[in-house]
Amino acid sequence: MIFPDANMLAINDKRFVPFIAAEAIQTRIQELADQINQEYADRKPLIVVVLNGAFIFAADLMKNLTIPCEVTFIRVASYTATESTGQLRQILGLSETITGRDLIVIEDIVDTGLTICEVCDQLRSQQPASIAIATLLFKPTALKKSIDLHYVGFEIENRFVLGYGLDYDGIGRNTKDIMVLEE
């Protein structure tokens, strides 16, 4: 990971340039938190953070929540079932009972929407009282599933982004700005 200057990040042969500035991210997160504080004023939601990408967004969002809430962390593992053709995704790490709870699922980015749809389907099978999705980023033109996103930080074009929790090949999560792959 090389930062030749503040305006460029090079990882292997890829170059990333600033896309959404840290200040804009924080301002938007405060707005989302205000909305959640209002809409969950009389509930105690369980925040379900999808690791790894959402960890920084979730932390900053939670710091701006003023309602009582709990937090838990899940991972989504992709694997190919032995006799099945498609890729299935399995939720790892959920030890809480979610039946009857109001869940807010926190994602870094919704791209095709396949991941978040499967996560919600699996969570729904345990009969929570409600599920809302909060995603920092959303690529509407990449979406392949119809899905109701309750809290969206930024709608972006269909380009590869990294930083602020998102990675390229495991690298680049630790930038305050969101960067985009240079075309």
Ramachandran region of residue 172, left (φ > 0), alpha (ψ -120 to 50) or beta?
left
Specify the residue, 64 or 115, whose C-beta has the smaller distance to ligand XMP: 115
128 lies in the site for Mg ion, by CB under 5 A: no
Name the residues annotated as catalytic.
111
Nearer to Mg ion, 50 or 98 (CB): 50
**Residue 80 Cα to chain centre, angstroms:** 23
| Contacted entry of Mg ion, ligand XMP, none for residue 73, CB cut-off 5 to 8 Å set by kind | none
Biggest CA pair distance of the chain:
51
Instruction: Specify whether the CB–CB gap between 158 and 141 falls below 8 A.
Output: yes
Site for Mg ion in 23-62 (CB under 5 A): 53
Cα distance between residue 137 and residue 149, in whole Å: 11
Other CB atoms within 10 Å distance of the CB of residue 39: 15
Beta carbon of residue 172, minimum distance to ligand XMP (angstroms, whole number): 8
What is the closest distance, in whole angstroms, from the C-beta atom of residue 161 to ligand XMP in the complex? 4
CB 109 within 8 A of CB 133: no
Please choose which of ligand XMP, Mg ion, none residue 161 contacts, taking the beta carbon within 5 to 8 angstroms, the exact cut-off set by kind.
Answer: ligand XMP
List interacting residues with ligand XMP (CB under 6 A).
53, 107-116, 160-162, 166-167
* Tokens describing residue 180: 């985009």
Pick what 128 binds: Mg ion, ligand XMP, none; C-beta below 5 to 8 Å, kind-dependent.
Answer: none
The piece of 14-22, 28-36, 102-110, 133-141 that touches Mg ion (CB under 5 A) is 102-110
Distance of CA 67 to the CA centre of its chain: 21
Provide, rounded to whole angstroms, the least separation between the CB of residue 135 and Mg ion.
10
Q: Give me the least distance between CB of 139 and ligand XMP, in Å please.
A: 7
Q: What would the two tokens of residue 41 be? A: 């004023």
d(CA 155, CA 23): 17
Binding site for Mg ion (CB under 5 A): 53, 108
